[in-house]
Amino acid sequence: MARVNDNYLKLAAGYLFPEISRRMDVFTSANPDADVIKLGIGDVVLPLGDAVRTAMHDAIDEMATADGFRGYGPSEGYDFLREAIAENDFGSRGVKIDPSEIYASDGSKCDSANIQEIFADDCSLAVSDPVYPVYVDTNVMAGRTGQPDEGGRYAGITYLPCTEESGFMPALPEEPVDLVYLCSPNNPTGTVAPKEELAKWVEWARANEAIILFDAAYERFITEDHLPHSIYEIDGARECAIEFRSFSKTAGFTGIRCAYIVIPEELKGRDSNREQVPVSTLWSRRTNTKFNGISYPVQRGAEAIYSAEGAKEVQANIDYYMANATLIKEGLSKAGFTTFGGVNAPYVWLKTPDGQDSWQFFDNLLSQANVVGTPGSGFGACGEGYFRLSAFGIREKVEEAIERIAKGF
Ligand SMILES: *Cc1c(COP(=O)(O)O)cnc(C)c1O
């Protein structure tokens, strides 16, 4: 019989979202008439804008003509998309990224999961706690960790606590670390690392020859001008950071699938002879071996968000979600909750009242207010005692949910 990959068996059993669904199912079968409002999973709800739709339609029509038909495209993405990204997402903020340093993909989940493959098996890694579980689980699967302890923390990973006292910013690791995953604006805490904070990380990474894996999936939700949207706004980041960006939350592409990764030319790792190797050559090789690119209509749809009309439509959706975030944050504050985030990110991170643990609060909120959110402890030990509410909802539902919570339960 074929041996399985034992590393998969280390993965802590109850993945967060299935457990949330299970508890919801139990509740709704016992209370079939309850109108349950979901502010849990981070998925967008607003329809695609016209610019994206038209661009995708046109691309399909083009593919149905003899001249316009396209088969396999470049694995890294078409030049038209890479150029639009370089100019609009970076050039417009004074950051120089060459289109050749951009690799389009079908998602940041996949990119942030796959990136570890091009690094050595014995690379050490650090993650913040709470954390987006993909960074951890993919390294567990790859065998870079031992077993989890009772709190779900794996041996071999350096966890960087993000607490209220530190403004939910992770401290620099005290031990040597090769790879560190940072996410800003942060899922789940909704907080954003200011420039000084990122500068500290870049300085540390360069001094320690470490690489920062920077997940900026939520950068479009930043509303305060002084905050950085890209790690490359920090001098020296080109030598020590990879950035992940996604059209998922930005442009409602969670179902369409388009994202990209930036690997600057200057970014180097070392081989076993201690010779320097450009990281991009490995990623490019990986991409060309394991991936055949995303579809042409999707790339045309993604390109369309940079047109004048597309940009307006995307911004309108983001404004809608951020108005939800404000409603949630202000409503909860008025009701006496302590909240974080929700200003530059579509997530509000609240402190559970009366010392309830995250799952107790989940159960109470569900059974008494019929509102579903995400228990902070599902994102890591330091998330215990916290709870995430997502601003990705229909306005009326969000208002209703907050009204119910404010009434007390
Ligand atoms: C939603 C999300 C992404 C985007 O994932 P896609 O695969 O591009 O849909 C990336 N990182 C974080 C932290 C997210 O929450």
Q: What ranges do the domains of the chain cover?
A: 10-47+309-406, 53-307
Residue 285's Cα: distance from chain center in Å? 25
d(CA 134, CA 111): 10
Q: From ligand 1's centre to the CA of 46, what distance in Å?
A: 17
d(CA 151, CA 137): 15
Mean of pLDDT values over 355-374:
96
pLDDT tens figures, 64-113: 999 999 999 999 999 999 999 999 999 999 999 999 999 999 999 999 99
Strands 179-183 and 211-215: parallel
Stated as kind and residue range, the H or E segment containing 375 is strand 374-375
pLDDT tens figures, 177-192: 999 999 999 999 999 9
CATH code at 10-47+309-406: 3.90.1150.10
Would you state the pLDDT for residue 408? 81
Q: From ligand 1's centre to the CA of 69, what distance in Å?
A: 31
Task: Answer whether 108 contacts ligand 1 (Cβ < 6 A).
Answer: yes
* Strands (DSSP E) found in 226-346: 241-246, 259-262, 268-270, 276-278, 339-341
Task: Answer whether 217 contacts ligand 1 (Cβ < 6 A).
Answer: yes
Give the residue, by CA position, lying nearest to ligand 1 atom 4: 108
Task: Answer whether 109 contacts ligand 1 (Cβ < 6 A).
Answer: yes
Q: Give backbone dihedrals phi and psi of 390, rounded to 5 degrees, phi first.
A: -100, 145
What angle (nearest 5°) sits at the alpha carbon of residue 195, between those of residues 192 and 196? 110
Q: Assign domain 53-307 to a CATH class.
A: alpha beta
Task: Answer whether 245 contacts ligand 1 (Cβ < 6 A).
Answer: no
Task: Answer whether 183 contacts ligand 1 (Cβ < 6 A).
Answer: yes
Q: From ligand 1's centre to the CA of 215, what distance in Å?
A: 8
Contact call for residues 359 and 375 (beta carbons, < 8 A)? yes
Q: DSSP assignment, residue 172?
A: P
Q: What residue spans of 157-271 are helical by DSSP H?
A: 195-208, 247-251
With 80 as the cut, is the pLDDT of residue 161 above it? yes
pLDDT tens figures, 230-256: 999 999 999 999 999 999 999 999 999
Same fold, 10-47+309-406 and 53-307: no
pTM of the model: 0.97
Alpha-carbon distance values, 231 to 51, 97, 356, 359 (Å): 29, 12, 36, 34
Task: Answer whether 187 contacts ligand 1 (Cβ < 6 A).
Answer: yes
Structure token pair of residue 218: 């939520």
